[in-house]
Amino acid sequence: MRNRSILFALVSAALIVASCGKKRDESTTSKAVTTPNISYSVLNVLPHNPHAFTQGLIIQGNKIIESTGQPNTSWIAEVNPGTGEHDKKVNLPGEFFGEGITIINNKIYQLTWQSHVGFIYDAKTYKKLGEFTYDKYQEGWGLTHDGKNLIVSDGTDKLHYVDTTTLKTVRTLSVTEGVNSIQQLNELEYVNGFIYANVWQSSIIVKIDPATGKVLGKLDMSHECNQIESMYPAADVLNGIAYDANSKALLVTGKLWPKAYLIRLQ
């Protein structure tokens, strides 16, 4: 079929099948709270650019698109899934630290970390179309959308819904697990009506109900994090979630990771 994604073929040629490995106690919430663990299988392990300080990761059609951070080395680029290398399209000016990205209405939206400035690009040509500001947020971290609004994380327990036309905040959602707030929400992905978020400096991805902000499940990737840490001491934290609707798989990686994991939730 012509509309099969690049990742569909990679799923079909799966190299590894695995389940959750050993657990690390990295929860940011009280141990009294019992949240279901989300089991998963690893379908494939793909190469990832070890120089990419991953801030945002999305799959759009047949393309994997990644945004990276750090001063003077922040970019948005298409990723070759076979090699992990980048075909660079947009390099940010050196003073900007790139953060999350998403695509909606044929536009790429990108956050920056502490500059309180976001950029808008044409999704086909990567031509810059405009900028927007977000002074009310602590910082710019992760970015996704629900088909209507942008959804922004700022390193706290808050998710901010932003109108794509006015670029004004229309709703703020507090994320909780039991009575506890979940801090340091980072890279985001909207999947089948739920929000998935990396929790910074942990091996945990949380599944969030967008109606209530409650955490419905936790994906513990400590097994993969331990593998990366033991093999690649220069690698940083888990960060980067992209959903491929055709294969119904998630692509997950981290900052400066030489690998990305294609997984399917059980």
Task: Report, as an integer, the average pLDDT of 115-137.
Answer: 92
- pLDDT, tens digit, 9 for 90 and up, residues 43-77: 999 999 999 999 999 999 889 999 999 999 999 99
* pLDDT band at 1; cut points 50, 70, 90: very low
Task: Report, as an integer, the average pLDDT of 160-174.
Answer: 95
Helix ranges restricted to H, the chain: 6-12, 222-231
Confidence (pLDDT) at 138:
87
Contacts of 258 (CB under 8 A, 6+ apart): 47, 48, 50, 84, 228, 232, 235
More confident residue, 81 or 104: 104
φ, ψ for residue 227, nearest 5 deg: -60, -50
pTM comes to 0.87
Residues 222, 2: Cα–Cα separation, whole Å: 36
Helix, strand, coil percent values for the chain (each to nearest 5) = 5, 50, 45
Confidence (pLDDT) at 200:
96
Confidence (pLDDT) at 4:
42
Strand, helix or coil for residue 151: strand
Q: What percent of the chain clears pLDDT 90, i.e. is strictly above it?
A: 79
Residue 230 and residue 53 in contact, taking contact as beta carbons nearer than 8 Å: no
- pLDDT, tens digit, 9 for 90 and up, residues 221-262: 999 999 999 999 999 999 999 999 989 999 999 999 999 999
pLDDT beyond 70 at 6: no
Residues 101, 111: Cα–Cα separation, whole Å: 7
- pLDDT, tens digit, 9 for 90 and up, residues 132-166: 998 778 899 999 999 999 999 999 999 999 999 99
CATH domain 6-265 topology: Neuraminidase (2.120.10)
Q: 187, 237, 147, 246: which is closest to 264 by C-alpha?
A: 246
Which residues in 214-237 are b (16+ Cβ under 10 Å) and which e?
Answer: bbebbbbbbbbbebbeeeeeebeb
